[in-house]
Amino acid sequence: MCGIVGYAGTAGSVETGLPSRAVRVVLEGLRRLEYRGYDSAGLAVLAGKRVHVRKKAGRLANLSALVETEPLPAAAVGIGHTRWATHGAPTDANAHPHLADDDRLAVIHNGIIENYAPLRNRLAMGGHEFLSETDSEVAAALLADNYRSLVGNRTGGDTLAAAMRRTCAELEGSFTILAVHADHPGLIVAARRDSPLVVGLGDGENFLGSDVSGFVDFTRRAVELGQDQVVSLTADDVTITDFRGVPVAGRDFAVDWEAAAATKDGHASFMAKEIHEQPEAVRRTLGGRLGADGAVSLGDLGVTDEVLAGIRKIVIVACGTASYAGQIAKYAIERWCRIPVEVDLAHEFRYRSPLVDGRTLVVAISQSGETMDTLMAVRYAREQGAPVLAICNTVGATIPRESDGVLYTHAGPEVAVASTKAFLTQVTAGLLLALHLAQLRGTGDPTEISAAARELAGMPAKIQTVLAGEARIEALAASMTDATAVLFIGRHVGHPVAMEGALKLKELAYIHAEGFASGELKHGPIALIEAGQAVIVIVPSLTGSPVLHAKMMSTIQEIKARGGRVIALADEGDAATGGWADTVLTIPASAPLLAPLLTAVPLQLFAAALAGAKGLDIDQPRNLAKSVTVE
């Protein structure tokens, strides 16, 4: 979490009354990175042999307003930070940058310093007065300490980088750290471990960002920093070393403009835009992978057919929405491929001593490709000798880079914190993988499998049909702004969809919501049903799953008997559901395993509409961040 930006260029002037280029570049980078955290924002510039800081709790707009009322001097160098709070509340004092070395050193940090408590004690005993509750200020104080002791012994431009290397050797945890010092005008020193950082290469100016969106407006040339590396950046030089000081070469790459340039495109929110992009996003996931005859070809996956043919078990690791996509893949893989599948929340996986070996395929699902919990699960799986396949949206992100192979979803940039098109495309990729494995291993009912493959190709058009019902869902949401709790139930693949629907409502509308398997209702949760309690029911297909459909009809009656209000998602033509539910939202009929591509959509629209009706921030809900890069 947290977004980080750095700029080293030329000072220019502020005579026009406009902020200098350093300030403008940093603020623009922070605007694009705000999805990574928005509890506070701050920046520091170097000018006139002094460090100048502005920082403010709350959204970036607060910082921009502060910079307008308290302008900064013309500067050649600037660093900026947008925070997702870990240690310490979102206050001005806890906002980055943090100062040390008599306010001559400014530091910003993303990650968690796990040994911050003993370090803080040691530094406090040495006389450092801490002004914040953050672990990040400890990194600033330690860097100042190391800098002071090195300055006593040597001179030269490398002192700050040497101090950074020494500091990194003492820190435990994950971090990206950027530092500027008044002794070194024109220089930014940065380091990274288990937390992202990329360098942008300009003409007479260079950039740093948590990801390329931090500088995409200014350059398309970038260098990826590896694990445990330190970079010294000036307007015309980029020097990278490892933590021992040995020079290393970074990997150059061209920035994919499409992946970084996101606009709302006329929609009221990024989420609305992304919901409506879903037919096209799913089409892109399918693109070139599904033949007219239903044959699936996944191209060069990075995990060979020979390996896939020999696997005995699959473990899917993911978090949040991505884990629900994984649960849907489990149903498809077990039915079509007859391979046992476990789905683990990535943060639980490696701590339960899982049984994985060279014949276990571990599938890591992640939109961002940077989720720390999932990355750690990937590393653990590979240490155990398991082949790892990533299902990822972000090309070149850490998780696909560290996996043996990758199936990209090609959903395009997802900016809203709440996942929508990421979910549908992850489900699509999981279905493609299941079909591919079934065809490769000759398992499952060939007629059912080829029918499902052909039907999958038609799902984008059906998603479009569901989107056409938006107005009705908006009206329903507008009638429910006073709801304090909403339950979601489903069976089979409807169960993960119910959990996804509940997650969307919690994160966007701040309404307590729970999603569970409807068979569980009678084992406890039915106690929650009282007069008027809203229950959203994902009804199994009447034609595709008649047995489950019949059981769901009984469940609906049990809810109605206790005064509950049933809002059902059912196939067009499902008259039985219409006879019992208070409200029925219809979706086109589909094969049961493909239905989540349709049933998830009204739940996304519902959560967004309810949040909108309550006047909440749909794209940046409270307490959250898009990319969860801490464990």
Catalytic machinery residues: 2, 626
Nearer to ligand M6R, 419 or 555 (CB): 419
Amino acid at position 365, single letter: I
Give 3-state DSSP helix, strand, coil % of the chain, rounded to 5. 40, 20, 35
Nearer to ligand M6R, 321 or 577 (CB): 321
Rounded to a whole number of angstroms, the minimum distance from the CB of residue 319 to ligand M6R is 4
Minimal CB distance to ligand M6R: which residue? 320
Nearer to ligand M6R, 304 or 623 (CB): 623
Q: List residues near ligand M6R by CB under 6 A.
A: 319-322, 366-368, 371, 374, 417-419, 422, 503, 507, 628
**CA 7 – CA 594 distance, rounded (Å):** 47
Nearer to ligand M6R, 137 or 370 (CB): 370
Burial class of residue 292 in the structure, from the number of CB atoms within 10 Å of its CB (0-12 exposed, 13-18 middle, 19+ buried):
exposed
Q: State the residue for tokens 């950039």.
A: 207
Rounded to a whole number of angstroms, the minimum distance from the CB of residue 427 to ligand M6R is 12
Rounded to a whole number of angstroms, the minimum distance from the CB of residue 88 to ligand M6R is 22
Going by the DSSP 8-state scheme, the letter that residue 12 receives in this structure is -
Amino acid at position 98, single letter: H
**CA 436 – CA 566 distance, rounded (Å):** 38
Rounded to a whole number of angstroms, the minimum distance from the CB of residue 620 to ligand M6R is 12
Q: DSSP letters along 55-66, please?
A: EEESSHHHHHHH
Nearer to ligand M6R, 418 or 630 (CB): 418
User: Is the distance from CB of 154 to CB of 131 less than 8 angstroms?
Assistant: no
Closest among 525, 486, 493, 495 to 606, alpha carbons compared: 486
Rounded to a whole number of angstroms, the minimum distance from the CB of residue 27 to ligand M6R is 25
Return all residues near 552 (Cβ < 8 A) that are at least 6 apart.
491, 518, 537, 539, 540
Nearer to ligand M6R, 422 or 556 (CB): 422
Closest among 48, 103, 96 to 72, alpha carbons compared: 48
Helix axes 320-337, 421-441, angle to 10 degrees: 20
**CA 345 – CA 371 distance, rounded (Å):** 12
